[in-house]
Amino acid sequence: MNLTQTDLTRAFTESLMLAILAPDEEKKEKALGLVARISTTLSEKEQELCKMGIETCLEFMGKYP
C-alpha cells in the first residue's frame, strides 16, 4: 500500500490529536508511538503545519464549545 504525503500528514495529525485526547496513559503512549513512527516520513515544516492546525482547532473548540 502506497501512502501519499496527504495520507501521512493526516495520520500524523490524527495521532497527535489521539495523544492529546487519550482517555488514559496507555492509549496516549500508543498514539505517541504512532506520532514518532510517522514523523520520520515528514519534513519539519510538514510536522509544524500539522501542529499549527491542531492548535487552531483546540483554540476554536475552547472558544465555541
| Residue among 20, 60, 12 nearest 36 (CA) | 12
The gap from C-alpha 13 to its chain's centroid, in whole angstroms, comes to 3
DSSP conformational letter for 2: P
pTM: predicted TM-score of the whole model, two decimal places:
0.87
Residue 17 carries which side chain, given as an amino acid letter? M
Per-residue confidence (pLDDT) for residue 3, from 0 to 100: 82
Looking at residue 64, its pLDDT comes to 81
> Strand, helix or coil at 3?
coil
What confidence tens digit (pLDDT) does each residue in 26-58 have?
Answer: 999 999 999 999 999 999 999 999 999 999 999
- Domain boundary assignment for the chain: 5-63
